[in-house]
Amino acid sequence: MSLTRKDIENIARLARLELAETEIPVYVDSLSKILDFVGELERAPTDGITPMAHPMPGLAQRLRADEVTETDAHQRYQRNAPQVEAGLYLVPKVIE
Amino acid sequence: MTAPALPATTVAGLARGLAAGRWSSVELTQAYLARVTASQSELNAFVTVTAEAALAAAAAADAARAAGKASALTGVPIAHKDIFCTRDVLTTCGSKMLANFVSPYDATVVSKLAAAGTVNLGKLNMDEFAMGSSNETSFFGPVRNPWDIKRVPGGSSGGSAAAVAARIAPAATATDTGGSIRQPAALCGVTGIKPTYGRVSRYGMIAFASSLDQAGLITVSAEDAAMLLGAMSGFDPRDSTSVDREVPDYVAALDAPLAGLKIGLVREFFEKGLDAQCEQRIREAIAVYEKLGASVREVSCPNLPLSVPTYYVVAPAECSSNLARFDGVRFGHRCESPRNLNDLYSRSRGEGFGAEVKRRIMTGTYVLSAGYYDAYYIKAQRVRQLISADFARAFESVDLLLGPTSPTTAFEIGAKVDDPITMYLNDIYTIGANLAGLPGMSIPVGFADGLPVGLQLVGPHFSEARMLNAAHRYQLETDWHLRVPAAYA
């Protein structure tokens, strides 16, 4: 599998990662190699095998009772926020 | 380095001395903090040292003991991998992205071990977001192996392994997604246990790949691991993958005789790539197990050689999803003067994540993208099922599987950093247990050219007691786990 510069730019855009110009050829090379490496899986016969998403067979997703268990702690959480105002997280203007 | 001598170096030994009044928790904590400080410029094992809080906790532990309220671990110092959220303490996950993140809450592992009376010395260095096998991807610089500071300690729990090996922390928490407890334990000559998926709560443990991640320990001995694992395990309603199942008394199970234990040697682990001296040490350890009454036979897990490529689809896919939360809005790194929201996301993430994390996010984004999802992601999940079935079949005829932890001893810093595939193959023997959710351990079984060699045990789901028992009986026969690098003795 040989990825192109355009592929890497597209993947980076999907992943919301800005890459420096110098990083692009490095990822063209290493992601191509990784895809070749994982391409080995193609040869494994898996017809009729159920995909395994979770390592504990039979473990069902638990539900909890619909009760209030958490109290408001937004002020404590927002101490880590880069920019807040009046209890709100600030981001650049979205609607022009 | 010169550091103050310690009265004892195992958790069990320290706890006995505390119970007998031979030393106080404050004295122990001061001694360990002094060793941490003395070693830091050489090993770089810690990201944050919480000296003041540690001494306050130690004083509280001593007061609890004086009031007759001590339990087995009261006053024993430990340290946490910097992946565990620790309230009011910097929690970086080895990343620039979280270099300013002061956690507003405690991970369940942190609160349970505090409730058991342990004293937290600080937060241990690690590969960025636990993605690495050498601790070289940390934003805070590489950790060095105390057996040879030109070499890596392994990863991602490299700080945990180096700290325990150099006896600058008696024990450390760690996490394992593809070998991140067992491989550094092997490379640093210490004991590591990755419990069954779901055994230990992951609440407050920063996520990498959620179908694989599990919290565990790096310790000097299996006995120490048994003491701490009992305190940190158990059901947690705050973790939806936590398993509601009784925690056995791991310490009580340590001494059981091994007569009749059926050990399987995984043929595929010995086929190629294993260093000859490492193999020799493993064979010598097998002879010890036979002497202890275990029967050893060969078993085959034919799909196991596919575990590394399977992992490098599944883990990056889950990582790309988990790390989407780092958006520069609510916490973590934010770029300067964003032009718009998309620029805010892309530049904050591009600047905040290091090269390997970006590589994995992009690999994951690619294998999950339209047109490739079935060919890569679903295919890998099918192979994962085959690997898991291989293990299940093996456990129909044996109690535990045995093999090497790592194909080689510790390599030099810088040797593999530019070649991701070579780096990924360090975990060739450990990844299978994560894919199948099985518990695994690494214990020291000797040296090759002066560097530690680790032996791996893998058991069926929830067989931690049996694994710790098998490791402990071996450690009663040998003293490899008690060897300390000369500079830190």
- C-beta atoms of B421 and A34 within 8 A: yes
Distance CA A83, CA A95 (A): 19
Which one of B241, B329, B385 has the shortest CB-CB distance to A89? B329
- C-beta atoms of A27 and B362 within 8 A: yes
User: DSSP labels for B44-91?
Assistant: --EEEE-HHHHHHHHHHHHHHHHTT---TTTT-EEEEETTB--TTSB-
Measured between CA atoms, the residue of chain B closest to residue A7 is: B366
Task: Summarize pLDDT for B314-367 with one digit per residue, the tens.
Answer: 999 999 999 999 999 999 999 999 999 999 999 999 999 999 999 999 999 999
Task: Provide, as residue numbers in chain A, all residues whose Cβ is less than 8 Å from the Cβ of B346.
Answer: 13, 16-18
**Which residues are bridge partners to B299 per DSSP?**
B266
Task: Summarize pLDDT for B204-233 with one digit per residue, the tens.
Answer: 999 999 999 999 999 999 999 999 999 999
Mean pLDDT confidence for B286-302: 98
Interface mutation target, options B342, B361, B366, B461, chain A, most CBs of A under 10 Å: B366
pLDDT at B6: 84
HSE-CB at B348 with a 13 A cutoff on CA atoms is 27
Q: How many cross-chain Cβ pairs, A to B, lie less than 8 Å apart?
A: 170
CA B143 to chain centroid, in Å, comes to 14
pLDDT at B177: 98
Burial group, residue B242, by CB count within 10 angstroms (0-12, 13-18, 19+): buried
Closest CA to B136 of B331, B452, B426, B446: B426
Task: Summarize pLDDT for B274-290 with one digit per residue, the tens.
Answer: 999 999 999 999 999 99
Q: Provide the b/e sequence for B171-197 (b: ≥16 CB within 10 Å).
A: bbbbbbbbbbbbbbbbbbbbbbbbbbb
- C-beta atoms of B343 and A92 within 8 A: yes
Is A96's pLDDT higher than 80?
no
| pTM check: above 0.95 | yes
Is B2's pLDDT higher than 90?
no
Smallest CA–CA separation between A52 and chain B, in Å?
5
Report the DSSP pairing between strands B400-404 and B262-266.
parallel
Average pLDDT, chain A: 93
Is B3's pLDDT higher than 80?
no
Q: Is B285 within 8 Å of B455 (Cβ atoms)?
A: yes
Smallest CA–CA separation between A72 and chain B, in Å?
13
Mean pLDDT confidence for A68-92: 94
Fill in the DSSP letter of residue B226: H
Q: Is A80 within 8 Å of B330 (Cβ atoms)?
A: yes
| Residues of B tagged active-site | 81, 156, 180
Task: Summarize pLDDT for B361-404 with one digit per residue, the tens.
Answer: 999 999 999 899 999 999 999 999 999 999 999 999 999 999 99
Distance CA B144, CA B151 (A): 6
Task: Provide, as residue numbers in chain A, all residues whose Cβ is less than 8 Å from the Cβ of B331.
Answer: 77, 80-82
Residue B472 — φ and ψ, nearest 5°?
Answer: -65, -45
B410: left (phi over 0), alpha (psi -120 to 50) or beta: beta
Smallest CA–CA separation between B134 and chain A, in Å?
18
Rg of chain B over Cα atoms, rounded to whole angstroms, equals 21
pLDDT at B449: 97
Closest CA to B14 of B58, B64, B66: B58
Whether residue A17 lies inside any domain: the answer is yes
Is A8's pLDDT higher than 90?
yes
Average pLDDT, chain B: 97
Looking up tokens 């959220």 gives B85
Burial group, residue B372, by CB count within 10 angstroms (0-12, 13-18, 19+): middle
Measured between CA atoms, the residue of chain A closest to residue B198 is: A56
Is B1's pLDDT higher than 60?
no
User: Domain span at residue A23?
Assistant: 5-38
Q: How many domains does chain B have?
A: 1
User: DSSP labels for B386-413?
Assistant: HHHHHHHHHTTT-SEEEEESSSSSPPBT
Smallest CA–CA separation between A34 and chain B, in Å?
7
Distance CA B110, CA B117 (A): 11
Mean pLDDT confidence for A50-79: 88
Distance CA B224, CA B14 (A): 10
Measured between CA atoms, the residue of chain B closest to residue A70 is: B238
Residue B15 — φ and ψ, nearest 5°?
Answer: -65, -40
pLDDT at A94: 82
Residue A95 pLDDT grade (very low, low, confident, very high; cuts 50, 70, 90): confident
The side-by-side arrangement of strands in the sheet containing B77-81 is B46-49, B119-124, B77-81, B171-176, B214-219, B191-194, B440-448, B451-458, B400-404, B262-266, B295-299
Task: Provide, as residue numbers in chain B, all residues whose Cβ is less than 8 Å from the Cβ of A92.
Answer: 338-341, 343-344
Task: Summarize pLDDT for B454-478 with one digit per residue, the tens.
Answer: 999 999 999 999 999 999 999 999 9
Whether residue B413 lies inside any domain: the answer is no
pLDDT at A57: 75
Fill in the DSSP letter of residue A11: H
CATH number for the domain spanning B224: value is 3.90.1300.10
pLDDT at B46: 98
Q: How many domains does chain A have?
A: 1
Report the DSSP pairing between strands B295-299 and B262-266.
parallel
Task: Provide, as residue numbers in chain B, all residues whose Cβ is less than 8 Å from the Cβ of A18.
Answer: 343, 346-347, 349-351
Mean pLDDT confidence for B121-135: 98
Task: Summarize pLDDT for B55-76 with one digit per residue, the tens.
Answer: 999 999 999 999 999 999 999 9
Distance CA B448, CA B446 (A): 7
User: DSSP labels for A24-37?
Assistant: HHHHHHHHHHHHHH
Task: Provide, as residue numbers in chain A, all residues whose Cβ is less than 8 Å from the Cβ of B312.
Answer: 34, 37-38
Q: Is B440 within 8 Å of B427 (Cβ atoms)?
A: no
3-state DSSP: chain A helix, strand, coil percent, rounded to 5?
Answer: 40, 5, 55
- C-beta atoms of A82 and B334 within 8 A: yes
User: Domain span at residue B143?
Assistant: 11-256+459-488
Tokens of B251: 């310490």
Is A62's pLDDT higher than 90?
no
Least confident span in B38-42, B45-49, B141-145, B269-273: B269-273
- C-beta atoms of A37 and B310 within 8 A: no
Q: Is B95 helix (H, G, I), strand (E, B) or coil?
A: coil
Mean pLDDT confidence for A57-84: 89
Torsion of CA B455, B459, B465, B468, to 10 degrees: 0
Say what percent of chain B tops pLDDT 70: 99
Task: Provide, as residue numbers in chain B, all residues whose Cβ is less than 8 Å from the Cβ of A20.
Answer: 350
- C-beta atoms of B350 and A27 within 8 A: no
pLDDT at A64: 84
Task: Find the helix packing angle between B11-19 and B222-232, rounded to 10°.
Answer: 80
Report the DSSP pairing between strands B191-194 and A88-89.
unpaired
Distance CA A3, CA B17 (A): 61
Is B4's pLDDT higher than 80?
no
Which one of A49, A55, A94 has the shortest CB-CB distance to B386? A49
Smallest CA–CA separation between A96 and chain B, in Å?
10
Q: Which residues contact B198 (CB under 8 A, 6 or more apart)?
A: A56, A59, B214, B241, B242, B243, B437
Q: Is B119 within 8 Å of B32 (Cβ atoms)?
A: no
Other C-beta atoms closer than 10 Å to the C-beta of B89 total 20
Mark out the alpha helices in B298-418 (DSSP H runs): 307-322, 341-352, 355-367, 373, 379-394
Tokens of B173: 């928490």
